Structure 1
Amino acid sequence: MTESDAAGGKDAGELVVVTGMTGAGRSTAAKELEDLGYFVVDNLPPSLLPQVLTLVDESRGTSQRVAVVIDVRSGAFFEELREELGRGLLGRRTTLVFLDATDEVLVRRQEAARRPHPLQGQDRLLDALVRERKVLGDLRAMADLVIDTSALNVHQLTARMAAMFGTPDTTKLNVSVVSFGFKYGLPVDADYVADMRFLPNPHWVPELKAGNGRDNPEVADYVYSAPGAREFLDGYVPVLAGVADGYLREGKRFMRVAIGCTGGKHRSVAMSEEIARRLRARGLDARAIHRDLGRE
């Protein structure tokens, strides 16, 4: 929790600051926040942020939730934004969201959009991305939530934003337990990663191969009954719960746990479902997300 939480009081509406790389999905995130009832301002110079909040307070009341999108076009004004966030002068509970993606994905999206990058000039697009990452480096480090959109389509990013900001209860820790396949790459936005490849793979059992760890109880039972599975769950879930308590004490509201296996279909899916279930039993707002299920 920043100093702005105390300054704004319990009735002050949340402020979401959305920034990140060009092509990473800022416009999609902003549209979803608008649909969720936020007052959204796009491409706002950071120096005008306090004035905008004052106008919103006066016209719509202090409980109105606000979202602002700030991108690299603001240039030198980024230093002012860092100072505002660092000193907690904005008077609201503030969440800084940074949208990122790999350079390969950003290049592909930018070329598809047929728009020049704001920092490109006469140089290559990759040169512009290097400059942008340098400019945004400090804000990425400060971010409360980093969302890697490399593997997300528009609908998936919209769902992520809705899951994160669609509830009026903004003090609860949101835990995402994400299953994935190592052959498709690590989720770069994970806070913790666990490898389920120490468990026997249902892929090699003919009657289980076609099923998955979410929809087929026989697959899940096979995974849970494997040597070491229960011991892992009994040891790992309390660790995550302890970390969650610490996150809440530090004012963090998002925790992303990645559970991997070879293809993201059997072991990681079953274990993610069980981890999320056990965390919910401990009173946490946890849900399982299956990044690579159905991808094979």
Structure 2
Amino acid sequence: MPCLVLHYRAGEPLAPDPPDLVRLPAPAHLPTGPDGSPVPPAADRIEDVRARLRDPAAARDILDLDGFHPRVQDVVLNTPGARELLTNLADYADLPAGPRRIAIGCAGGRHRASGLTELLAR
């Protein structure tokens, strides 16, 4: 079943919606509204993981890496609560109601959001 999974952060427009499962190569940036707050992406489910998962960038050895790197994915996956969230997102993506668009966001978009996106895409 097709599913769009993207990671995002506030600032600039999102990439166009592709038809099948997509792992965006870089963080998408959200446009901001008149009050300066980010406009949420058009998605069936939006997960802002800033408060849910601690920032793995505290692990100094991954600062220069992104979510495509297996080391970052390992650190993210071993963050308390990440496995449960990943299982929940995978179950949601597999619902029979049709294609799902899931947006996963965090502060910088390089570690938590992109790492979860890559793990979910598997």
State the TM-score, normalizing by the size of structure 2: 0.68
The percent of aligned pairs where both chains have the same amino acid is 32
Question: Cα deviations across residues 131-179 of structure 1 (Å, max 9, x unaligned)?
Answer: xxxxxxxxxxxxxxxxxxxxxxxxxxxxxxxxxxxxxxxxxx4311001
Question: Cα deviations across residues 54-85 of structure 1 (Å, max 9, x unaligned)?
Answer: xxxxxxxxxxxxxxxxxxxxxxxxxxxxxxxx
Q: How many residues align?
A: 96
Q: 1:207 aligns with which of 54, 58, 61?
A: 61
Q: 1:235 aligns with which of 79, 88, 94?
A: 88
**2:3/2:93 contact within 8 Å kept:** no
Unmatched 5+ residue regions in structure 1?
1-172, 248-253, 278-296
- The alignment partner of 1:231 has SS state of helix
Which of 1 and 2 has higher RCO (CA within 8 Å, sep 6+)? 2
Q: In structure 2, what is the equivalent of residue 190 of structure 1?
A: 43
Shift of 1:186: 4.7
Q: In structure 2, what is the equivalent of residue 176 of structure 1?
A: 4
Larger Rg: 1
Q: In structure 1, what is the equivalent of residue 114 of structure 2?
A: 269
**1:180/1:186 contact within 8 Å kept:** no
Q: 2:101 aligns with which of 246, 256, 265?
A: 256
CA RMSD across the alignment: 2.1
Give the Cα–Cα distance (whole angstroms) in 2 for the partners of residues 228 and 265 of structure 1: 18
More helix by share: 1
Unmatched 5+ residue regions in structure 2?
12-36
Change (3 A) 1:265 1:241: same
Whether 1:226 aligns to 2:79 is yes
**2:41/2:103 contact within 8 Å kept:** no
Question: Cα deviations across residues 171-198 of structure 1 (Å, max 9, x unaligned)?
Answer: xx43110011246945532221012222
